[in-house]
């Protein structure tokens, strides 16, 4: 293929689609995470409404944020690992399309339950089950799409992760508008959960459109990303008696089977970058949102208290996206330095765990940083470093 002219991304259509795919992959987690006020409020209200039956029900603490974090990250971990082997038997297009359709159905169920009266235990169980299954399909979706995006030039990996960062901004803005609207609480919540349904449907349309663009086809066909299709192509290669010119005329290109025959062989090449990414997200998810959502403002203004948590979501996600774009502009550490320089900052982020735990958390004895400005400053550094370092590692690993 060295003599073949590479097509251009006309109108940046592929870049926009990959950005939208990134947006769609993290919408589920961000919408359930940002809606913690809605779920906690509804569980508390339902518990209070049933206080006549048992006194325990009125004081029951469901710990929505802790359970949401656990039942989000556990299926993401398990099914991301499973997806590393699943790709050998299930076609990528089927995995992505089925996952998006399943997420759309589950979000529709969540929206429908907004107006359905339920017992608190039943509502909590249904919500937790929905979170589990949505994140299960999200894990398969993310793993599959990262494999697709890895076939494109490095800047497309950055765009994909920037889209993931925008998902948080999208969810935070949607919740902020829902809180500030004068609509009935049920109507506002219904509008909030219908929004990701529309966005997920748009993501599915974008994915189905991607193979029809010339620029995308060039990179998708250059390396066979689907083992089933590769086996079929290899069979045709044998029938054509290894005639490279005829194969090239048919648009069939082959990678070395040994390079993708073993997940372990791939992991041996990228384990340092994989370890750095794991460190970045382990620190982030250990305190966000379980710890950060419990931080309270020192100002006793009812209007500010109402939007303070949502403002923190928005600010955190905004600086995560800024970190993604800063990596594209700065490109530091450089490609030659990446194995020796990029790991130290990832490890240093562990310091954010005690720093955030010492902010103004409700019922905590470690409130050394009580003022809002200190918390905001820590969150700016926390979110910017998350976006920058994660984007850096994810852009270099495919190379």
What's the CA angle centered on 216, arms 211 and 220, to 5 degrees? 80
Phi, then psi, of 369 in degrees rounded to 5: -115, 80
**Cβ-based neighbour number of residue 82 at 10 Å:** 15
Taking only Cα atoms into account, the Rg of the chain, rounded to an integer number of angstroms, comes to 23
pLDDT of residue 205: 94
pLDDT of residue 98: 93
Mean pLDDT over each residue of the chain, to the nearest integer: 78
pLDDT class for 259, splitting at 50, 70, 90?
very low
Between CA 205 and CA 185 the distance in angstroms is 31
pLDDT (tens digit per residue) in 72-107: 888 888 888 887 776 678 788 888 999 999 999 999
pLDDT of residue 285: 83
Between CA 212 and CA 222 the distance in angstroms is 15
Q: In whole angstroms, how far apart are CA 338 and each of 151, 275, 342?
A: 20, 13, 5
Domain limits, the chain:
10-222, 226-261, 263-399
pLDDT class for 250, splitting at 50, 70, 90?
very low
Which residue bears the tokens 């998350």?
386
CATH value of 10-222 in 1.10.540.10, 1.10.760.10, 1.20.1250.20, 2.60.40.10: 1.20.1250.20
pLDDT (tens digit per residue) in 184-238: 777 888 888 898 899 999 999 999 999 999 888 888 886 544 454 445 545 554 5
pLDDT class for 177, splitting at 50, 70, 90?
confident
pLDDT (tens digit per residue) in 372-385: 889 889 988 998 88
pLDDT (tens digit per residue) in 268-305: 777 777 788 888 888 888 888 778 878 888 888 877 87
pLDDT (tens digit per residue) in 112-156: 998 888 888 899 999 999 999 999 999 889 888 988 888 888 788
pLDDT of residue 348: 84
pLDDT of residue 319: 79
């Amino acid at each position: 293929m060295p003599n073949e002219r590479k097509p251009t991304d006309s109108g940046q259509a592929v870049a926009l689609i990959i950005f939208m795919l990134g947006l769609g992959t993290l919408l589920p987690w961000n919408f359930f995470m940002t809606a913690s006020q809605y779920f906690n409020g509804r569980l508390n209200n339902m518990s209070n409404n049933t206080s006549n039956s048992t006194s325990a029900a009125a004081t029951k603490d469901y710990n929505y944020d802790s359970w949401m974090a656990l039942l989000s990250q556990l299926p993401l971990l398990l099914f991301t690992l499973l997806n590393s082997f699943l790709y050998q038997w299930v076609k990528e297009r089927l995995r992505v399309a089925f996952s998006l359709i399943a997420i759309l159905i589950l979000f529709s169920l969540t929206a429908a339950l907004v107006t359905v009266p339920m017992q608190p235990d039943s509502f909590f169980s249904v919500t937790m089950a929905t979170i589990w299954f949505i994140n299960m399909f999200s894990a398969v979706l993310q793993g599959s799409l990262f494999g697709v995006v890895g076939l494109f030039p490095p800047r497309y990996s950055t765009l994909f992760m920037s889209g993931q960062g925008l998902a948080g901004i999208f969810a935070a803005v949607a919740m902020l508008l829902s809180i500030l609207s004068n609509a009935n609480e049920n109507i506002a919540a219904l509008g909030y959960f219908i929004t990701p349904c529309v966005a997920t449907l748009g993501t599915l349309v974008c994915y189905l459109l991607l193979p029809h663009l010339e620029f995308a086809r060039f990179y998708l066909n250059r390396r066979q990303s689907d083992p089933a299709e590769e086996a079929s192509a290899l069979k045709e290669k044998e029938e054509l008696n290894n005639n490279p010119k005829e194969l090239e005329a048919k648009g069939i290109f082959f990678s070395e089977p040994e390079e993708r025959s073993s997940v372990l062989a791939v992991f041996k090449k990228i384990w340092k970058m994989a370890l750095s990414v794991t460190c970045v997200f382990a620190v982030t998810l250990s305190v966000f949102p379980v710890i950060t959502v419990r931080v309270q403002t020192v100002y006793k203004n009812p209007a500010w208290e109402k939007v303070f948590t949502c403002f923190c979501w928005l600010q955190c996600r905004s600086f995560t996206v800024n970190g993604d774009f800063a990596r594209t502009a700065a490109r530091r550490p450089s490609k030659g330095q990446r194995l020796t320089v990029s790991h130290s900052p990832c490890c240093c982020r562990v310091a954010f765990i005690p720093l955030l735990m010492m902010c103004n958390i409700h019922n905590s004895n470690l409130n050394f940083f009580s003022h809002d400005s200190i918390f905001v400053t820590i969150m700016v550094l926390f979110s910017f470093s998350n976006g920058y370092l994660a984007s850096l590692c994810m852009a270099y690993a495919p190379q």
